[in-house]
Copies of this chain bind each other. A is one copy, B any other.
């Protein structure tokens, strides 16, 4: 095996986020989200669907009486919560939280079978059903989340109990699955085990985990088809009849061997979790075909199947991708977890080849869909993140049944809330990476970090005014002068950047700009200061003319933030607002609005209703527009002021059209 030269992700131990925008989120995760979710997992949040997830473990552990309740993958909610706890503990000690986590680890350990098997659904509901329905039943998915939790918790605390559970479970899986005679040749309907085994491999150095991960990827989509075979062995019994998981191969990306897939098909979360695993294996093994498939699917997603908010999945049925350029705003699925998975994938690609486009998409998903998926109080969540809502229609028209117009306290299928928690808790690992004596800065988030460069420890202090202004300052802490490269990402939303080093302007040569980064290669001295200014004009955005939804419409973006109109600011019938792309845009920081944010106000027109009373269609009539102003707020902050209309894509006058 030949591994690729991959950049080192930064350990959370070495970084401290100190940022006006993000520090409150990290605190929120620590002080509110994780404690709140602990209550939810223990069924102590009133008025919500019960989770029963902890109870399932207690019953499986023999500590309580009762029956399994919830989705087949209910275990994973506990694992994702525990993983978030691991990251929080890695950031800073918290003995009280650690005690709670240890207590749940104790229960999990007791629920594990002697042979390492661990899954409360099968233990309690189908004790003889182990590994009989991989297409639908998420056993390996749950195992993967447990492994991710174990790696995070072990890294933070050094404690072995959960790591030992995870290794026993992985070994149990390794005993059951593999190319050897007599082993199962299957793979999970929901990818996750692949990337988790890679984490376990990196944590333990045990190559069998890498081999097993690769085995699962290699098997997917091969013929004769494993899902047909197990379906017949089960004599056709199924769990989720409406989705045809066992038969609709593309739903689980099992329609083709993974190396042959060129378009993102089926369940969006599965696609990006799979791709994260593929990138991990490719990075480790140098498997060029696997890497090419990663690149092809990346390109398909980000150039044909992604919303401007970094959301993916155009259809509720199957929570799935549909086809190129099919990006409806109002019936979008755009699951929070799918954007989180896209971030996982982007981070891995960034490790393999530091190209700005990966970080651009990562940032787009993070600042819009992911943080939009949680309310500013940390206790309400979106599963689905539409780009347009009309609450009256959402109540009545079943095409919008999957869309909630306000964030919910919890979900029967509660995958998204703990996914947000674990991502935000580990945000520090997405900001920098180091490769070939180069420190890459992918995200502009105020922080202090310790990096290994030119054979010494470099202490980098970043101050950032993002996302509201594109002003960043770095201070380089060094023992002695040293030569290394600092690669500063120039985001796709930025104008021509200005860089000053110790107050002196840097003329950026074309050599210095590669793949979306300005690479500064110099002898750095202790206390060197780098100033970076990324011009952040309001950008009128258009969609590709092949997107039906965005024709004749415009969206505003400023920095990483995509903006939207809300009824709270603009009244109802937002579709009647028409803007000009070249109108003057007023940007103002409103400290009192929704925790403080930059709003955009533009002159606009409103289509008037006069002359239309009791008329549905009229001939030879000019629409009358009256001047007004439209106020936009960042998309992530929508739906924090009650139920109301929202839209990202707004009608545009054709003034900016060129007739040729």
| Cross-chain contact B539 with A619 (CB below 8 angstroms) | yes
A82-115: CB near B (< 8 Å → 1, else 0) gives 0000000000000000000000000000000000
Among A8-16, A188-196, A392-400, the stretch that binds chain B is A392-400
| Cross-chain contact B399 with A399 (CB below 8 angstroms) | yes
13 A/B residue pairs, CB under 8 Å, sorted by A: A308-B616, A540-B620, A542-B618, A543-B617, A544-B612, A546-B609, A551-B575, A551-B607, A552-B552, A624-B657, A625-B658, A627-B659, A654-B654
**Contacts of A541-555 to chain B: CB distance below 8 A:** 541-548, 551-552, 555
Given A303-B616, A542-B617, A616-B306, CB of A396 within 8 Å of CB of B323 = yes
Tell me, yes or no, whether A557 is within 8 Å of chain B by CB. yes
The 8 closest A-B pairs by CB, nearest first: A317-B398, A539-B619, A322-B397, A548-B575, A545-B607, A303-B614, A622-B658, A654-B654
Tell me, yes or no, whether A653 is within 8 Å of chain B by CB. yes
Minimum distance in angstroms from A658 CB to a CB of chain B: 5
How long is the Cα–Cα vector from A390 to B324 in the complex, in angstroms? Answer: 12
Q: How many identical chains are in the complex?
A: 2
A315-331: CB near B (< 8 Å → 1, else 0) gives 11110001100101001
| Cross-chain contact B658 with A615 (CB below 8 angstroms) | no
How long is the Cα–Cα vector from A660 to B611 in the complex, in angstroms? Answer: 14
Tell me, yes or no, whether A314 is within 8 Å of chain B by CB. yes
CB closest chain-B residue, reference A492:
B619
Tell me, yes or no, whether A605 is within 8 Å of chain B by CB. yes
| Cross-chain contact B623 with A658 (CB below 8 angstroms) | yes
| Cross-chain contact A658 with B573 (CB below 8 angstroms) | no
| Cross-chain contact A315 with B398 (CB below 8 angstroms) | yes
| Cross-chain contact B609 with A304 (CB below 8 angstroms) | no
Minimum distance in angstroms from A362 CB to a CB of chain B: 16
Tell me, yes or no, whether A507 is within 8 Å of chain B by CB. no
| Contact pick for A616, options B304, B551, B576, B621, CB 8 Å | B304
**Contacts of A369-406 to chain B: CB distance below 8 A:** 390, 392-393, 396-399
How long is the Cα–Cα vector from A552 to B576 in the complex, in angstroms? Answer: 9
Tell me, yes or no, whether A651 is within 8 Å of chain B by CB. yes
| Cross-chain contact B651 with A551 (CB below 8 angstroms) | yes
Given A399-B331, A660-B625, CB of A557 within 8 Å of CB of B326 = no
Minimum distance in angstroms from A299 CB to a CB of chain B: 7
How long is the Cα–Cα vector from A81 to B546 in the complex, in angstroms? Answer: 45
On chain B, the residues within 8 Å of A399 by CB distance are 315-317, 328, 331, 399
Given A546-B573, A653-B654, CB of A659 within 8 Å of CB of B605 = yes
Tell me, yes or no, whether A608 is within 8 Å of chain B by CB. yes
Tell me, yes or no, whether A302 is within 8 Å of chain B by CB. yes
| Contact pick for A397, options B314, B541, B542, B659, CB 8 Å | B314
Tell me, yes or no, whether A523 is within 8 Å of chain B by CB. no
Extra 9 A-B pairs, beta carbons < 8 Å, given A541-B618, A542-B621 = A303-B616, A542-B618, A542-B623, A544-B615, A545-B612, A605-B659, A608-B660, A622-B657, A653-B657
Given A396-B323, A398-B318, A540-B620, CB of A548 within 8 Å of CB of B390 = yes
| Cross-chain contact B545 with A619 (CB below 8 angstroms) | no
Tell me, yes or no, whether A626 is within 8 Å of chain B by CB. yes
| Cross-chain contact B619 with A493 (CB below 8 angstroms) | yes
How long is the Cα–Cα vector from A545 to B626 in the complex, in angstroms? Answer: 13
How long is the Cα–Cα vector from A618 to B554 in the complex, in angstroms? Answer: 10
Minimum distance in angstroms from A563 CB to a CB of chain B: 13
A7-30: CB near B (< 8 Å → 1, else 0) gives 000000000000000000000000
Tell me, yes or no, whether A656 is within 8 Å of chain B by CB. yes
On chain B, the residues within 8 Å of A326 by CB distance are 393, 396-397
| Cross-chain contact B617 with A656 (CB below 8 angstroms) | no
| Cross-chain contact B619 with A552 (CB below 8 angstroms) | no
| Cross-chain contact A299 with B614 (CB below 8 angstroms) | yes
Minimum distance in angstroms from A346 CB to a CB of chain B: 15
How long is the Cα–Cα vector from A61 to B626 in the complex, in angstroms? Answer: 70
On chain B, the residues within 8 Å of A318 by CB distance are 398
On chain B, the residues within 8 Å of A608 by CB distance are 545, 660
On chain B, the residues within 8 Å of A541 by CB distance are 617-619
How long is the Cα–Cα vector from A619 to B556 in the complex, in angstroms? Answer: 9
A560-593: CB near B (< 8 Å → 1, else 0) gives 0000000000000101101001000000000000
On chain B, the residues within 8 Å of A493 by CB distance are 619
Minimum distance in angstroms from A296 CB to a CB of chain B: 12
On chain B, the residues within 8 Å of A623 by CB distance are 542, 545, 656-658
| Cross-chain contact B303 with A615 (CB below 8 angstroms) | yes
| Cross-chain contact B620 with A539 (CB below 8 angstroms) | yes
CB closest chain-B residue, reference A331:
B399
Minimum distance in angstroms from A155 CB to a CB of chain B: 37
| Contact pick for A323, options B397, B576, B655, CB 8 Å | B397
How long is the Cα–Cα vector from A34 to B52 in the complex, in angstroms? Answer: 60
On chain B, the residues within 8 Å of A323 by CB distance are 392-393, 396-397
CB closest chain-B residue, reference A627:
B659
On chain B, the residues within 8 Å of A317 by CB distance are 398-399
How long is the Cα–Cα vector from A622 to B542 in the complex, in angstroms? Answer: 8
How long is the Cα–Cα vector from A617 to B387 in the complex, in angstroms? Answer: 15
CB closest chain-B residue, reference A393:
B326
On chain B, the residues within 8 Å of A626 by CB distance are 660
On chain B, the residues within 8 Å of A660 by CB distance are 608, 624-627
How long is the Cα–Cα vector from A555 to B621 in the complex, in angstroms? Answer: 12
How long is the Cα–Cα vector from A657 to B609 in the complex, in angstroms? Answer: 13
Minimum distance in angstroms from A448 CB to a CB of chain B: 33
Among A303, A551, A555: residue with most chain B CB under 10 A = A551
| Cross-chain contact B658 with A619 (CB below 8 angstroms) | no
A189-210: CB near B (< 8 Å → 1, else 0) gives 0000000000000000000000
On chain B, the residues within 8 Å of A622 by CB distance are 656-658
On chain B, the residues within 8 Å of A543 by CB distance are 616-617
